[in-house]
Amino acid sequence: MTTALIVSHGQPSDPAPAAAEIAALAAQVADHLPGWRVRSATLAEPDALAQGLAGHPGLVYPLFMAEGWFTQTHLPKRLAEAGGKDWRILSPFGTDPAIAALTVDLARTASRPILLAAHGSFRSSAPSQIAHDMAARIEAETGQLARAAFIDQSPQIAEVAVTMPDAACLPFFAAKGGHVIEDLPTALDQAAFTGPRLEPVGLDPRVPAIIAAALRAALQTVCR
């Protein structure tokens, strides 16, 4: 039986809600993968990685939006410390072409300019670049104005939101953690933003099937 472990950052100050959210996602992914074990863990939960890695080596699916310090340095280190050095780490959620296509579709459905709200990073340019590239793709494929803005770097969300009063805010996030629940609304309120506030990309009902397809494709690559 193949084992997949879906890993997210989690919420260090309050690990339980994020852990429950990713566990629910893992159960939905498992519905698309009969015969697989699909587990979940957040980096914020004590001992969660070690529990998720129990058994034969399998596949680790990073529920992150970009390749960066967390996926390239921190996650491999944490996996090795938890006994998972032989597990295969897949490309992150946000780099999947199917997720990019889904994001464009969500933007097109909004039928208005798009404020693509993302996390950003002080450690790496990768998280901001993928959001800027995504905004450019939305513009190119839909003809709608699209701009990326960030919580952790410039341009910040409030700064861009005040210039886009007719936009829809599309959170370019894999889950609905503290940043989406607290930081994003605070920034939008600061800008007196009155446009629609959409659900994060990662909460779309098509996501579990997309993740399952990525896991299935990765296993086929290993077995060749």
Residues 129-156 pLDDT 10s = 999 999 999 999 999 999 999 988 889 9
Max avg pLDDT among 1-10, 96-105, 145-154: 96-105
For residue 19, give the CATH number of its domain: 3.40.50.1400
Q: Are residues 88 and 163 in the same domain?
A: no
Provide the token pair at 173: 């996030």
Residue 203 clears pLDDT 80, i.e. is over it? yes
**Cα distances (Å, whole numbers) of residue 190 to 145, 164, 196:** 22, 13, 15
pLDDT at 220: 84
Number of domains in the chain: 2
| Domain interval for residue 33 | 3-94+204-223
Residue 102 clears pLDDT 90, i.e. is over it? yes
- The answer to whether 25 and 18 have CB atoms below 8 angstroms apart is no
Q: Are residues 43 and 135 in the same domain?
A: no
**Cα distances (Å, whole numbers) of residue 218 to 60, 83, 88, 89, 97:** 10, 21, 9, 10, 14
Q: Are residues 213 and 183 in the same domain?
A: no
Q: Are residues 198 and 171 in the same domain?
A: yes
Q: Are residues 12 and 103 in the same domain?
A: no
Please state the pTM of the whole predicted model. 0.93
- What integer is the mean pLDDT of 159-166? 95
pLDDT at 223: 54
Give residue 129's Cα distance to chain centre: 15
Residue 70 clears pLDDT 90, i.e. is over it? no
